[in-house]
Amino acid sequence: MLDYLAQIGANLRYSVERLGRFGRFAGKMAVYLFVPPVKIGRIVQRIYFIGARSLWLIVLISAFTGAVMGLHGQQTLAQFGAAAQVGTLVAAALLRELGPVVCALMVAGRAGSSITSELGVMRITEQFDALKIMNLNPFRYFMAPILLAFVISVFLLTAIFNLVGIFAGFVVSGGLLGVSYGSYFGGIIDFVVFSDIYFGSIKALVFGALIAWVSCYKGYYTGKGAEGVGAASTEAVVLASVLILASNYVMTSLMW
């Protein structure tokens, strides 16, 4: 019995220690954002990798998402005589929820896993230890630029996701189902308010920071060997996805 309780206590202590390390890691990433000089070149490189190279995926996913919403939205609203308001439905859903959430999940899967693998390889080849010997801080040279790049990239990609999705919804509902241009975009202008855009943008910024936090943490503390790198990449995507969905619920309940 005592051994069983001791094992429970050891597991609990281990979990609390890992949670504390997770929180300290986020704090160090945030602190080194403000340590000069700012590594503009590294930030631009990361934005290109995270944002520009994810653009085709975001455009493709957003086009199909908006098209499906336009199709089903028009058919559902038509049952209540409100088919002309399909633009409002598509825009509100994308701006408030689907845009930032789906975009963040796609970026976590494509770029987040790659960042984790890159940092994991650096860990198992002892490159971080070499940087410390040369008095170079990994958080300043790697983590802080990655954090800022993820925040900027997810924010911009979410804006593109929303725009493409709204126009894709019009192509389907207007071009195939007969909803007029004026009805579609007029409903958006009349009923979509600034707070929809504002709160959706806040979500995108938070999601970008969460992806960077999880990806860098899992890569920095990866296990030994190639198997450890693969496991860390998988764990990063899973944990980032869970945190995105959980934080989305919390922010939605507070904002609306």
pLDDT in tens, 154-168: 999 999 999 999 999
Position 1 pLDDT exceeds 70: no
pLDDT in tens, 121-147: 888 888 888 888 888 888 888 899 999
- The packing angle between helices 194-220 and 113-124, to 10°, is 20
Q: What whole-number distance in Å separates Cα of residue 64 and Cα of residue 61? A: 5
For 214, residues 6+ apart whose C-beta sits below 8 A from its C-beta are 108, 112, 236, 239, 240, 243
Q: What pLDDT is recorded for position 2?
A: 63
pLDDT in tens, 209-255: 999 999 999 998 887 777 888 889 999 999 999 999 999 999 999 87
C-alpha dist (Å) from residue 179 to 70, 141, 158: 10, 52, 26
The 8 Å CB, 24+ separation contacts for 135-144 are 137/32, 138/220, 139/28, 139/29, 139/31, 139/32, 140/32, 140/35, 140/39, 141/39, 141/42, 142/42, 142/216, 143/28, 143/29, 143/32, 143/212, 143/216, 143/220, 144/29, 144/32, 144/33, 144/35, 144/39
Q: Stretch 67-80: mean pLDDT, rounded?
A: 82
Position 24 pLDDT exceeds 90: no
Tell me which of 13-17, 67-71, 150-154 is least confident.
13-17
State percent of the chain over pLDDT 70.
98
